[in-house]
Amino acid sequence: MGFFNRVAWRPTVDREVEDELAFHLDMRTREYIERGMDPAAARREAELRFGDARRMRAALEHLGQGRNRHMQRTEYFSELRQDIGFAWRQLARNPGFTAVAVLTLALGIGGTTAIFSAVYAVVLQPLPIADPARLMVVAEIFEGAPSQVSAGNYTDAAAGVTAFDGMSALRFSSFNLSEGTTPERIIGGHTTANYFEVMGVKPLLGRTYTPLEDQPGSERVAVLSHRLWTRRFGASPSIVGSAIRLGGVSYTVLGVMPQSFDLTTESEELWAPIAFTPAQKVLHDEHYLTVYGRLKPGATRAQAEQQLEAVAVRLRRDFSHDASQLRYTLTPFVQEFVGDYDTRLFVLLAAVGVVLLIACGNVANLLLARGAARAREIAVRSALGAGQWRIVRQLLTESAVLALAAAGAGLLLAHWFIVAVVAWSPQGVPRLEQARIDPLALGVAVLLAAFSSVVCGLAPALRLARTDIHPGLRDGGRGATGGSFRDRLRGSLIAAEVALSLLLLFGAGLLIRSAIALQRVNPGFDPHGVISARVALPQAAYGDPSRIVDTFERMAADTAAIPGVSHAALSSFAAMAPGGNTNGLLPDDGRPFDMKNLVPSRLRIITPDFFQTMRIPILRGRGFDANDRRDGQRVMIVSEALAAHIFPGQDPIGKRIGCCEQTADQKPVWKIVVGIAGDVRSSGPATAPRPEFYLPIAQAPDEAWNWLQRVMYVVARTDGDTAALVSPLRAMVARVDPALPLYDVRPMDQRLAGTLETARFNTLLLSLLGGVGLLLAASGIYGVIAYFVSQRTQEIGVRIALGASTASVVRLILVQAMRPVALGAAIGVAAALAASRVLASQLFNVSRTDPVTIGAVVAALVGVALAASAVPARRAAAVDPTRALQSE
């Protein structure tokens, strides 16, 4: 009996106390009368004995209320304990059912928890900087895309915008750290003094640099990241104030930033003042700065944008040569930092949530099937007086126990999933490595368990509780819960599972088709058998351009001489790699030398063997050779895309193009096009080839070594194993200059694969989820059809006895099975076509409504559904009519 009933026969506490005390008083009075007192005196005596009746009544009411609360609680918990014990015994009695249900749910809960942890680490987790919402990234718009800012444009914007508390500039740089025995290349930044303040981070040790130190001549100071401090300096606090050698020059360490400022595993490890010279501050056409602005409290992004536009208007007018196209743009730092990983991760989260739903559908089906077998037990219990609510509660408790067990197993799975996701994920997903099952994810898992228990348990529980007792008792439970509604419920569960699986498989199919299309793209060069690495010459020892060229040419020759190397070259830019420079080209067709007439194109300064090494075809004209010297005719090779852009329909060979340097009287230096090279997809197969041009290293403009920070890529081709070239390459560099580090050593095909890593990872995960969904849906279909066959054994026996053929029995079962499958497929196709919008940005050469993918996915699902129902259908056809009829 529920406590509702008990409470019903209990009077309210104040009535109870009142009545009880009144009775007592009357009885005492009566006692005194019997002893001979007159009634009035007896009553008085009894009341006197009682003392302060009102106080006592109040005390008793208080006690009574406490007692009632306590008893309700006790009763509730004792019933809960009973329910849980009963549920546990029920589950233990059917270990097969329990294992399947728990594992199915655990898969869904574990997957969802793991992906949620990843989403939390990358997207939701607050950034360890003060008030990140106010931090903005300021960029210039170039060719329609945000690009870096020139020092002049930064200086004027910083002076002209009052909506910011401060605007700081950062130039990504790398430093040759020659502390200890092995020189190392470190990624760092040259920044303005207010950089740390704008980012909103205080140093852990020491201090950051002051505006006075951010001046040419006094800029030999540095701030270390926590990572570099622990990795190279043993986390020793005494490093503050001591000197380290960077690029052969001594820098004083001023401070160490906190660990939280290591925002990603690839963020900068060291900072030094940028120390703009007065000349740099008025230079408007070299764009290399990443600019941050912190909005003042109360200032809005729109205000900052307006003020930036006002600065841009002035600059476009005053510097019509360099800044005629200038436009600023603002992006919140958080958005810039997270990039498009939020969409990708939320797609995965949605996908894994869909798997959880399919899992719930399966468990609901299992509970339904088992409920049918338990109809008799339920009927007995309700005949014995258990209320509907009590039975529903009992059944829900069973679901909850199931879901909690699944949550426990799911957490274990989630732990492994997270480890696997972090290990297999592509490089550069910010903060993914911080993903762990945190309390929040744990809470989500428990919530999911509760959600699953309700979703899985409620429908079957309500169905069972509504069971009519009498037929249940009469015919032993069989058929008691049958009927069309029940079949409809099962059918709609199947339809939902099919629709959800289709959604997943369609997404996975689109990504797989994209991956295949990407694989077929010709990158424009042959990455196989080529190793690439970077080498940087420090300014202190290599200030003279001719020394730089000599050094790099010697490296090219020495590399080509390494045994096993067939071709070797140096290039200022390698495909799928960072760095490089973009220049404006002026075709010699009479147009004035003005910013708006320049065609932006990516520069590669190369040694002559570069084309043979990379196997980039020379389509027309010639490649570079040893005759293209500094004092000879200035030459250039253009890519096919650049040729088509500048000289549409003409032969570019022999045409003149001005670029990259100016004569003393501000005239362009002209170069003759001597060849056309095949296009290279330098940013990866997914992006179209961009215009590119090549200059021979001997004719490199002096200024170019500053743009490139004297960094070149060494590329070498071998017929053997590229890994065997790593140590000979290092030895080669050490022979040239032992203080130079060789870094970023990677085979070219690995660089190419790296650009596809994210896509491949997403494809893999979504395919995996699609496969799991399909498997779950198949087992769900099998379960329902098998149940359907077992319920209809007699009917099938009759049909066979009346002469129905095997084929017609199989057809009967398959039609029954395929009806919800067809409905689910139809709903699934509609949902998939609508939902594929979220994948659009990840697709390559595949329409998001690709009919081939839809066809393949529907065919696969229907095939699997047919296979899953074929087994019970054949069992039905094999029914022995005599036995089936006897069992009636």
Partner 1 sequence: MTNPSPELLHGTLDTLVLKTLAGGRLHGYGIARAIEDGTDRVVDVEEGSLYPALYRMEKKGWIEAEWGVSELGRRAKFYRLTSRGRRQLAAQTAEWARFAGAVSRILLAT
Q: Counting beta carbons within 10 angstroms of the beta carbon of residue 597, is it exposed (0 to 12), middle (13 to 18) or buried (19 or more)?
A: middle
CA gap 35, 30 in Å, rounded? 9
538 backbone φψ class: left, alpha, beta (φ>0; ψ -120 to 50): beta
Comparison of 38 and 340: residue with beta carbon closer to partner 1: 38
Closest approach, Cβ 5 to partner 1, in A, equals: 14
58 forms part of the interface with partner 1 (CB under 8 A): no
Closest approach, Cβ 23 to partner 1, in A, equals: 5
Question: Which pair of structure tokens corresponds to residue 373?
Answer: 């077998």
| x/- map, 579-618, partner 1, by CB under 8 A | ----------------------------------------
Q: Coil, strand, or helix at residue 285?
A: coil
> For residue 220, what are the CA distances in angstroms to 248, 271, 279, 334, 818?
12, 11, 20, 31, 76
**Helix or strand holding residue 16 (H, E):** helix 13-34
Contact 628, 635 (CB under 8 A): yes
Helix-strand-coil split of the chain, %, nearest 5? 55, 15, 25
Q: Coil, strand, or helix at residue 613?
A: helix
Q: Which of 23, 77, 416, 424 binds partner 1 (CB under 8 A)?
A: 23
Could you give the dihedral angle defined by the CA atoms of residues 52, 58, 59 and 64, in that order, rounded to the nearest 10 degrees? Answer: 140
Sign of the C-alpha dihedral computed for residues 846, 849, 850 and 853 taken in this order? positive
Closest approach, Cβ 78 to partner 1, in A, equals: 11
Comparison of 30 and 436: residue with beta carbon closer to partner 1: 30
Closest approach, Cβ 479 to partner 1, in A, equals: 44
Contact 819, 491 (CB under 8 A): yes
Q: Which of 63, 440, 840, 878 binds partner 1 (CB under 8 A)?
A: 63
Comparison of 59 and 561: residue with beta carbon closer to partner 1: 59
| x/- map, 68-107, partner 1, by CB under 8 A | --xx--x---------------------------------
Comparison of 72 and 627: residue with beta carbon closer to partner 1: 72
Q: Which of 24, 466, 488, 630 binds partner 1 (CB under 8 A)?
A: 24
Note the helical H segments in 340-437: 341-373, 375-383, 388-424
* Polymer length in residues for the chain: 888
Comparison of 48 and 626: residue with beta carbon closer to partner 1: 48
Interhelix angle 793-801/806-835, rounded to 10 degrees, is 130
Closest approach, Cβ 70 to partner 1, in A, equals: 5
42 forms part of the interface with partner 1 (CB under 8 A): no
Task: Pick the stretch among 22-30, 637-645, 813-821, 863-871 that binds partner 1 (CB under 8 A).
Answer: 22-30
* CA angle, residues 587, 589, 594, in degrees to nearest 5: 60
Comparison of 74 and 519: residue with beta carbon closer to partner 1: 74
Q: Which of 1, 12, 31, 80 binds partner 1 (CB under 8 A)?
A: 31
Closest approach, Cβ 24 to partner 1, in A, equals: 5
Task: Pick the stretch among 66-74, 310-318, 423-431, 545-553 that binds partner 1 (CB under 8 A).
Answer: 66-74
CA gap 248, 145 in Å, rounded? 37
Question: Which pair of structure tokens corresponds to residue 544?
Answer: 């003279």
56 forms part of the interface with partner 1 (CB under 8 A): yes
Q: Coil, strand, or helix at residue 483?
A: coil
If binding means CB under 8 A, how many residues of this protein chain bind partner 1?
A: 25
50 forms part of the interface with partner 1 (CB under 8 A): yes
28 forms part of the interface with partner 1 (CB under 8 A): yes
Closest approach, Cβ 64 to partner 1, in A, equals: 6
Closest approach, Cβ 390 to partner 1, in A, equals: 22
49 forms part of the interface with partner 1 (CB under 8 A): yes
- Among candidates 291, 266, 297, which has minimal Cα distance to 195? 291
Closest approach, Cβ 36 to partner 1, in A, equals: 14
Task: Pick the stretch among 17-25, 79-87, 225-233, 595-603 that binds partner 1 (CB under 8 A).
Answer: 17-25
Near partner 1 in 161-220, by CB under 8 A:
none
CA gap 454, 448 in Å, rounded? 10
Q: Which of 64, 128, 617, 754 binds partner 1 (CB under 8 A)?
A: 64
Strand extents, DSSP E, 226-352:
243-246, 249-256, 270-273, 287-295, 328-332
- The strand pair at 565-571 and 711-718 is best described as antiparallel
Closest approach, Cβ 4 to partner 1, in A, equals: 18
Q: How many CB atoms are located within 10 Å of the residue 21 CB?
A: 15
21 forms part of the interface with partner 1 (CB under 8 A): yes
Comparison of 49 and 466: residue with beta carbon closer to partner 1: 49
- The strand pair at 249-256 and 221-224 is best described as parallel
Closest approach, Cβ 89 to partner 1, in A, equals: 25
Give the CA radius of gyration of the chain. 39
Task: Pick the stretch among 59-67, 574-582, 681-689, 817-825 that binds partner 1 (CB under 8 A).
Answer: 59-67
Comparison of 52 and 631: residue with beta carbon closer to partner 1: 52
Near partner 1 in 214-233, by CB under 8 A:
none
Q: Which of 66, 216, 578, 632 binds partner 1 (CB under 8 A)?
A: 66
CA gap 266, 225 in Å, rounded? 12
Comparison of 26 and 594: residue with beta carbon closer to partner 1: 26
CA gap 490, 460 in Å, rounded? 10
CA gap 505, 2 in Å, rounded? 48
Closest approach, Cβ 50 to partner 1, in A, equals: 5
Comparison of 49 and 207: residue with beta carbon closer to partner 1: 49
Comparison of 23 and 424: residue with beta carbon closer to partner 1: 23
Comparison of 35 and 93: residue with beta carbon closer to partner 1: 35
Comparison of 18 and 553: residue with beta carbon closer to partner 1: 18
Q: Which of 8, 34, 40, 51 binds partner 1 (CB under 8 A)?
A: 51
Longest dimension (CA), the chain: 144
26 forms part of the interface with partner 1 (CB under 8 A): yes
| x/- map, 657-696, partner 1, by CB under 8 A | ----------------------------------------
b/e sequence 306-331, b meaning 16+ C-beta within 10 Å = ebbeebbeebeeebeebbeebebebe
Question: Which pair of structure tokens corresponds to residue 520?
Answer: 């077929």
Tally the C-alpha atoms within 13 A of residue 316's C-alpha that lie toward its C-beta.
Answer: 13
Residues that bind partner 1 (CB under 8 A): 11, 16, 19-21, 23-24, 26-28, 31, 45, 49-51, 56, 59-60, 63-64, 66-67, 70-71, 74
